[in-house]
Amino acid sequence: MKTATSVFVLSVLSFGQTVSDAQRQACSDVQDAVIENYSNSNLSEKDLRRLIVNLQQICGVADDSQPIVDIHKVITECARTLIRFHKADLTKLPMDEFDALRDSVSHDCRVHPVAHDVTTTKDASSTSENETAKLTTSDIHELLAQSSTALNREIALGNRMIAHLKQAQTWEGVDADHPDAVALREKIVREEKEFASALRLGSELNDKIDSHQVEKECSKEERDRWLDLMTEATGVMHDARTQQDRYHALGY
């Protein structure tokens, strides 16, 4: 079983380093840009190289051991591997298959993890183990319940916002200045903030959950129910980001 945050964190190239939510989002965005534009015949070689450079700088460190001779080939291989990575059900992949898929992304996109300071990593690991040791069986059940509640809220808020974003885009082709359209856009501003807040809360809760203790202390039914929610919430999050991008592309 993957770490508690794998469904979210590993959908971007965090590679295990400590990253903020903003960094994860930026990395996810630049991956989307590679996937959406790799076959765009209107992009120059300079534009394609910029896509790869952005991904390398935001998601890790450039792998200079593999010179980029044919940028079209590199961008295509990178995009296709990213697509396989995003389509994979990370909750069911054996760890060796996940590692192989992650390594493929690293190789094809010419990017590798940020190096850790050994002492810092060791200290962080010790701290994590101490914190985990303090959790009782009842604690892990409570955390899982809290996480499930937070995920259900994310899903509900995300689906509501997605519906309103689509409505707002429809209004754009009918009458963008209609009072109902204006009121809808004002509502979306509030909903985006509410959804972002829910995502932060969910992330904070998931960071407290140790996957090994979940595996040991929780029933299969409990684990499966929680992972199903994680998977559904991830799908909603991606759909919401897509609709937000389209909506904000209209100038809002």
Task: Give per-residue pLDDT as tens, 163-197.
Answer: 999 999 999 999 999 999 999 999 999 999 999 99
156 band by pLDDT with thresholds 50, 70 and 90:
very high
Give the burial string for 64-102 (b: 16+ CB within 10 Å, else e).
Answer: eeeebeebeebbbbbbebbeebbebebbebeeeebeebb
Asked whether 31 and 12 are in contact (CB, 8 A), the reply is yes
**Mean pLDDT to the nearest integer, 122-150:** 65
Higher pLDDT, 11 or 144: 144
* pLDDT value at residue 202: 85
93 band by pLDDT with thresholds 50, 70 and 90:
low
Kindly report, residue by residue over 199-233, the tens digit of the pLDDT.
Answer: 888 888 877 888 778 888 888 888 889 888 888 88
133 band by pLDDT with thresholds 50, 70 and 90:
very low
Indicate if the pLDDT at residue 13 is higher than 60.
no
For the whole model, what pTM was predicted?
0.51
Asked whether 78 and 52 are in contact (CB, 8 A), the reply is yes
